[in-house]
Amino acid sequence: MITLYGWGPMFDCPSPSPFVMKTDIQLQMLGVSFTRAMADLESVPKHKAPYIIDDGKLLEDSNFIRHHLEIKLGRGLYDGMTGKDIAASWALERMAEGQLTKIMAYERWMKDGNFRKGPALFFSGVPENARDAVRNEVRENLSAMHTGEGTGRFSDEERMQLADWDIGAIAMHLADQDYMFGTEPSCADASVAAVLIACGTEYFDTPLSGLVHKHANLVAYIDRMKTRYFADIDWPVSYMMDAEPA
């Protein structure tokens, strides 16, 4: 039995985390049976989601989860693809996850208005007398991380320009195809669609959503992927889903 740990619908997305969405899609692509459960980040070494438990074995990180299951099943999401397409697929995945997710996270966590209506919900389980201090500490740590890796050193305009180039490149690669590499979804679609869903949500006040929505083919692609993989998702209810930001 496989259990995927993450979070369910939030911020008008199937999950607040593109990496949880990615793994959810990839598990479905691999055709494995699994259940969904709310993540407890304090219970796992990396303190991140998604993670899975497969017959008692803990696997963390979306890439290593896929790798484990492909070895176990004896088949993979690159099967039938040429070496050139595999390389292009990996490049698309890395571009989406490596830069766009950082810009998306910056918009959610570092912009006060977006933080209050979004990530602040994640702290609703913290005792009220400690909540502000914990929130501030986490935001300060994230700000330092963004500065350290570079995203926080750019102006708003520069971050959006970088995002625009990435999103435009994805739109050009997709062109008039249904999926990134043709008529059927493949490995890259899980990563790219998840990141585009997260960037394109209009729940937050950010130019990022407009950069996605200006490409008609990406809007259709997002709808196609959401219909295919998230039309009937089943997540247990969490306090985060009903909480109001303080």
Query: With bands split at pLDDT 50, 70 and 90, how would you rate the model's confidence at 232?
Result: confident
Rounded to whole angstroms, the Cα distance separating 24 from 232 reads: 12
Rounded to whole angstroms, the Cα distance separating 20 from 13 reads: 11
CATH number for the region 2-242 comes to 1.20.1050.10
Q: Tell me the per-residue pLDDT of 185-210, one tens digit each, with 9 for 90 and over.
A: 999 999 999 999 999 999 999 999 99
Tokens describing residue 221: 């692609």
pTM: 0.94
The domain limits of the chain are 2-242
